[in-house]
Amino acid sequence: MSHIWLPYTQMATATAALPVVSTDGVRIRLTDGRELIDGISSWWTACHGYNHPHIRAAVEAQLVAMPHVMFAGLVHEPALRLAARLAALLPGDLERVFFTESGSVSVEVALKMAVQYWLNKGHVNRDRFVCFRHGYHGDTFATMALCDPDEGMHRCLVACSRHR
C-alpha cells in the first residue's frame, strides 16, 4: 500500500485494504480465499456483475479492433451508432450525446455545458448553480462544490472551495 492512494480514505489512519484476486458475478475473491458479495456493484459500475459473458465478449472484441480512440477530432463507428441509439430516446429537440467515463465527470460536463450555453447567448454572469441539502453529485472538484456542505462526504473540501 506504500504506492497507492485509495479514494475516500484518510491514508494516514487507513487500515490495510483487502487484496482481491478475482471476481465473478456479485462475488469478490480475496487472496486468503474469503469471498465478499459486492452489494454496491463496484460503486455502481458493475451493475450486471463481474465477468458477464455478453459484456466480456463485447469488450474482448472491441479490444482486438480498437481499445481506445479519443474524441479530439476523431470518431469511430461504434460511438456513432451508440450516440444515434441514445439520441433516439431523448425528448424534444435534444439530439446529441456527450460520452464520459463516470457519473462525476458527466455532472461536471453538464455544468460546463450550462455555463457555455449562457455564454453563447451573451449572458456572462449566468454561472451559479442551485444545489440541494443532502445532495451528492460526484467527486470532481466542481461536483463536490454542489454536494451538501454540512453532511456530505466532501464537506471539508466544499467548505474550502467556498471560502477562497
* pLDDT (average), residues 106-115: 94
- Shared domain check, 163 and 110: yes
Average pLDDT over residues 99-108: 90
Q: What is the pLDDT of residue 12?
A: 87
Rounded Cα gap, residues 70 and 120, in angstroms: 25
* Claim to verify: residue 29 and residue 62 sit in the same structural domain: yes
Are 55 and 31 in the same domain? yes
- Report the half-sphere exposure of 2 (CA within 13 A, side-chain side): 0
Is 137 found in the same domain as 126?
yes
How many other C-beta atoms lie within 10 A of the C-beta of residue 15? 7
Last residue of a domain, one of 66, 86, 119: 66
Contact (Cβ atoms closer than 8 angstroms) between residue 87 and residue 96 = yes
Mean pLDDT of all residues in 96-110: 91
Query: Which of 76, 99, 122 represents a domain boundary (last residue)?
Result: 99
Select from 43, 66, 89 the last residue of a domain: 66
The residue segments making up the domain with residue 88 are: 68-99
Q: What pLDDT score does 61 carry?
A: 95
Shared domain check, 15 and 57: yes
Which amino acid would we find at residue 28? I
pLDDT in tens, 3-59: 888 887 888 888 889 999 999 999 999 999 999 999 988 877 788 999 999 999 999
| pLDDT band with cut points at 50, 70 and 90 for residue 95 | very high
94 and 134 in a single domain? The answer is no
**What pLDDT is attached to residue 35?**
97
Report whether pLDDT(60) > 70. Answer: yes
Res. 158: pLDDT tops 80: no
Number of compact structural domains in the chain = 3
Query: Based on the domain organization, do 92 and 105 belong to the same domain?
Result: no
Q: Are residues 34 and 82 in the same domain?
A: no
Give the C-alpha separation, 130 to 145, whole Å: 11
On whether the pTM is more than 0.85, the answer is: no
Residue 7 and residue 42: Cα distance in Å, rounded?
13
Intra-chain end-to-end CA distance of the chain, in Å: 33
Give pLDDT, residue 77. 93
DSSP code, position 94 = -
What does the pLDDT look like over 65-94, one tens digit per residue?
Answer: 999 898 999 999 999 999 999 999 999 999
Are the CB atoms for 19 and 30 separated by under 8 Å? yes
Whole-number pLDDT of residue 23: 95
Same domain? 82 vs 107: no
Same domain, 129 and 91: no
Q: Residue 10 sits in a domain of what CATH number?
A: 3.90.1150.10
